């Protein structure tokens, strides 16, 4: 949590969320302005799909779960996942819940950690070689 990576929003993501809003598809069916939050969520979902080498669960912590959670399914609206590979998403309302759940939900954590250590070692080696 002390090191964050900036994930830039793309024009395609803005257009995707705009289309949902214009057509009043969830999470915009109630005429609430959820645009920024929906854009952030879509951005993170795409980042996980494109940048993370292992498929693992994503925990979504929000104090306003009703804005993005389908009351019929208890899950984040499927419209936000359109054209993305399935991502298992667990929603919670408290960050503490997310921190408690993380170890049991991340199945590939050891593989992910090994990969991160390997990438860092390669980066350090490249720095030593002057690259």
Those residues with Cβ within 8 angstroms of residue 47's Cβ, 6 or more apart along the chain or in another chain: 7
Look up the pTM and report it: 0.62
**Inter-axis angle of helices 11-22 and 35-51, to 10 degrees?**
130
Residue 5 within any structural domain of the chain: no
Residue 17 within any structural domain of the chain: yes
* Low pLDDT (below 70) residues in the chain: 1-2, 52-57, 85-87, 102-110, 112
Strand partners, 62: none
Number of domains present in the structure of the chain = 1
DSSP state letters, 36-49: HHHHHHHHHHHHHH
pLDDT for the residue numbered 105: 64
Residue 1 within any structural domain of the chain: no
């Amino acid at each position: 949590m002390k090191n964050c990576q900036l994930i830039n929003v793309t024009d395609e993501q803005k257009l995707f969320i705009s289309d949902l809003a214009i057509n009043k598809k969830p999470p915009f069916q109630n005429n609430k302005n959820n645009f920024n939050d929906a854009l952030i969520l879509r951005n993170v979902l795409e980042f996980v799909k494109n940048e993370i080498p292992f498929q693992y669960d994503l925990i979504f912590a929000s104090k306003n779960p009703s804005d993005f959670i389908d009351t019929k399914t208890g899950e984040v609206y499927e419209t936000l996942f359109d054209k993305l590979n399935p991502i298992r998403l667990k929603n919670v309302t408290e960050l503490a819940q997310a921190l408690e759940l993380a170890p049991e939900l991340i199945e590939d954590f050891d593989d992910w950690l090994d990969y991160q250590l390997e990438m860092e070692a390669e980066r350090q080696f490249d720095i030593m070689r002057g690259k």
